[in-house]
Structure 1
């Protein structure tokens, strides 16, 4: 860990806020759990619709929050124990499964942190254990995630809060390297945004572990549980709808691709710039597995057969999005590693940095985000058009990516100065070529 006898030189005080400062951080810290529960209680078998009639919503909310039984019903001890066992499984898999150690980007201290690469192996092990369990005990044995949904959400939220508090308190130890954006001195804001850059226990990096393992892999297991629930209701796996299989295939492939290309994450803003606090903890552990799986959960109680033509069209859209996403990231990673197989053009800044101006990165400054948005739309289309709620993911994800793009542009403007204005003239579109 970095030694910092002068303190402020290496860990300067944060002077600007994001997310509207402490009030915004507090609202989001409360709003994310509320929204996660709302997406369940507002779109489930027992809600009376997806969403229920709006005239009934105020009375239902008032009745729920004033009921002791409703509050106690958010907790499920069995679900909490299962969730804790799942998290422990991921930690043990990180420790015992073989994996290469790779270096991340250089930090302000001049050091390069090393990360163990075995997320994909953990994913395969989890899928193997899950498949064997279902094969031996039948689909009905793996419906417990659907049946205990609220309990699992609560357990993941408790884990997120505990981790956020622990890493915030630990960040005050001597020698901790803080995130440039998380050292404001305001406890509400710093707890939310993340005060320490890379909280670790020995060689175990908490941030990158949470980013790729417990929540991301659980997302796929949640979807498998939704398939099992639908199979039980429809008389077997052979009767699972094509829409459900598409959602599982799309999202499993997306997760597998991210885990297989694990080293690419170490150059992202989450790892290089953001501290680890409640924002990343709740995003990784609660939001990803229990919000991103909304389409599969909806299809349990609203099964839909698409037919060959619609399924093929949705598949083509997902493949197009994936191609743009992967090819754009491939161009960037090759270029960062000193390779340029496509002979792409680039702009050299006064500081010597090179910015791509052709290929996908000549079409927009974030073409990978465009691919992400197309895939997100393809994941929602299998649910049909009876409700806008199943399109929450693509709307939210688009807003998130636009916010990330703006954060990245602000950082690049500070880093490159007038060269960034020149670059923006060469590549004027932010995400979607010729549109935005």
Structure 2
């Protein structure tokens, strides 16, 4: 009887919904794949522009969606097998490559998960193989991702659906710790948001693995393939705009992988379950939407010149400095260090909240840095189309929504202390604006 009571206490029924409940979850489940394909077909050479002429949009869309052959063209067996091989490579690298094991934050059953740290090693191995292939056989040897883009995206979507369903179904078997927000009893919502907090196979943690390895590193490979396609078309070199996008995004990816331990304190890991939302975000959205600027530049070969290159570099590295410096302050403080002698306030919970440094400027300075970098990734595409700025717009909405979720959780966690803190640090993301 006590075991059943303990299990019920650990896994209470979720009382509220996010994302407007089951209908919102269903909408996002359908909208994410649809948007991924729409960004491809709405900004590609085959469609006739970026975007195509408005008077051709509806006739083209209508004829495509009603044509069985168009639906069949989304599947590419060769690309699917290559994607499976890539995913298997990431799994094998996880087990084979050396790496330290670190403890995550304490979860509500009193335990701490152990995580293996070798994502950056997997990235270096992947880059070594990739650049070795290009060095030996030329840029043409690595254009296959560009050539099979739709097939790779469909394979990533299929993997996302499989993992979302598998994790949802297995969450009903055994003594699983469920996510506090994913135990509503509604299958559509729980499948989307993630029912089990930390689905694992032995010590292999599914959520953290997907967060950093197969999708994030694939984003780098997609960018490199797009740069290779442009190089083939131009004879040998790439434009300064493509070089900037490639440099910025590879740096961002490498930085995230190098600082792998930092993700184990994020909401994705500590709070959210692993369902279709995180699976499709990690595996489909990141590599195939975040690479939109590089894909645009394959056919729209923008040359910026030294002045515009310098401006874009300043925007990116300003964002990078804020992002890295703010995260450094936070991580040092959480680990009991305060090298800058930052001010803080004590809370009734016994924890401390930073009130100076970057965290005194606004409550989420890391988001501000992220958004500046996102803008820098789009600026090299010029201003001929708003579509290449989709990532900036989407990312702004995403981070504001995440900030609202953070604020709600912190208010529940700290109570009156949180209201006191928000008076000390007034701005959420954008100083003097929001």
Give the TM-score normalised by the residue count of structure 1. 0.98
Structure 2: distance between partners of 1:139 and 1:4: 60
| Alpha-carbon contact 1:4-1:175 (below 8 Å) kept | no
State the partner residue of 2:328.
Answer: 330
Instruction: Write the mapping of 1:26-425 to structure 2, written as runs, cut at 5 A.
Output: 26-236=26-236, 239-425=237-423
Ranges in structure 1 where 5+ consecutive residues have no aligned partner: none
Residues 183 and 55 of structure 1: CA distance in aligned 2, closer, same or farther (over 3 Å):
same
Structure 2: distance between partners of 1:337 and 1:364: 21
Once the two structures are TM-superposed, the CA of residue 174 in structure 1 deviates from its matched residue by 2.2
When the two structures are aligned, how many residues end up with a matched partner? 432
Structure 1: distance between partners of 2:136 and 2:85: 20
Once the two structures are TM-superposed, the CA of residue 6 in structure 1 deviates from its matched residue by 4.1
Structure 2: distance between partners of 1:5 and 1:420: 32
State the partner residue of 1:10.
Answer: 10
Give the TM-score normalised by the residue count of structure 2. 0.99
| Alpha-carbon contact 1:76-1:151 (below 8 Å) kept | yes
Secondary structure in 1 matching 2:70: helix
Structure 1: distance between partners of 2:144 and 2:45: 16
Structure 2: distance between partners of 1:19 and 1:92: 36
The Cα offsets for residues 351-404 of structure 1, whole Å up to 9 and x where unpaired, read as 111000000000100000000000000000000000000000011001100000
Once the two structures are TM-superposed, the CA of residue 249 in structure 1 deviates from its matched residue by 0.3
- RMSD after superposition: 0.8
The Cα offsets for residues 44-85 of structure 1, whole Å up to 9 and x where unpaired, read as 001111001122211111100110110000000000000000
| Alpha-carbon contact 1:4-1:10 (below 8 Å) kept | no
Secondary structure in 2 matching 1:7: helix
The Cα offsets for residues 77-127 of structure 1, whole Å up to 9 and x where unpaired, read as 000000000000000000000000000000111000000000000000000
Residues 26 and 327 of structure 1: CA distance in aligned 2, closer, same or farther (over 3 Å):
same
State the partner residue of 2:424.
Answer: 426
| Alpha-carbon contact 1:299-1:383 (below 8 Å) kept | yes
Once the two structures are TM-superposed, the CA of residue 329 in structure 1 deviates from its matched residue by 0.3
Structure 1: distance between partners of 2:214 and 2:97: 15
The Cα offsets for residues 282-323 of structure 1, whole Å up to 9 and x where unpaired, read as 000000000000000000010110000100110011000000
Structure 2: distance between partners of 1:143 and 1:4: 56
Structure 2: distance between partners of 1:174 and 1:7: 11
